[in-house]
Chain A
């Protein structure tokens, strides 16, 4: 019996210390992210959505704490996924109160990462669950998986370059759910050119879309007006 109690205590201690560890890790990651008040950056945006054919676009990113992010194509036109605002890490931590769970370690490519699950304590929060894959050495997030109430599940993958000290990635891949896309009847301008077409069902069903941003030219904490986000 004593033995059992002892083991139980040990396990609880271990768990506690582990939770302490991940809490600390998350805290450190968060602090690093918090060093950025605002930034602007240039990026090349590549879109891969089943019902879209678009060119690679040159866009500008605007960010302001706590959670304002805007992607703007100043010259041409770009389709920006609605959930793109989630492309910044602050958003994950913004609600403030959450439970941190250690989900062990994993490997992303060659990097060993810590897997951490965040559960918001507020039940009205859109985010239901976030899973973070954290590079413990550099204290940056390499990947997130977020399940939301309204916007489905999305994934972020980050690769870092010069601005790793600010936790700002050089490349982001954003994977998200696209809803069924329907064209209104009678407005399309189809011409049967005899090429083999995928059936509409095949193409337009609920699928995932992917956006890839190659970011450079960060200008960090130079101040940014609120007008940009209007």
Chain B
């Protein structure tokens, strides 16, 4: 599978704040890639960098195998996006908005073609109403029509369920699956809710404070027989080095701060005795029972990951 998005060591600094800090990930063709993190974790900034709205401080992005900064126009032609709220021109009608964005995307769209798109998102009857009369859900649907009108290969959805009612959220889920399974689109979808991601994504990445915490296949990360354990030591760096050099390395979660391992519960005491033998002073071992717990722990104030990061 060729890589659709390849991000390498991407960073963005706003004055003194590291919004994104050395982030690397890869999205393969056909993936529904979940991008998970709290509000302010750096998801939006990353997505804006993928769409050339924000210039990275450091790092590389290549999309469709081409450098984003040297092949910008070519790449953006094949991307459709909804960025946060689907804000459109309120003083224009749904049809006018769609026609306008089709034109900017460089496609010559017939009226019937545009109406078909509006029908797809069930807005054909409101096609000639101004957008300021639309509900949030209708705007979201129009936003989707706009994102898809030029038939992009890659679809980037930033918090697509924000502000939607339960029915809207369910519809969005159905749409994402349809786009992926029936139309073969590659999708990057961000959210601050694991529950949403796990229902649609096949891979995911958890980001916190601009850094990668965990990346992997959703099925594996959410495997209930595995436990995620966080180990706090007197010397984290040394402990990490020891683990990397041993057979325990395969359990170590890449990119995470501190020492985070995913393993069968039974193996935890074995690891601890191994580390003790090597004179690594263990301060605490905190097991979490699922990825959900781990993700929630990130959002809790004074959580262990945060304290370890400091």
Q: Do chains A and B touch in the complex (CB under 8 A)?
A: no
Interface residues of A (CB under 8 A from B): none
Interface residues of B (CB under 8 A from A): none
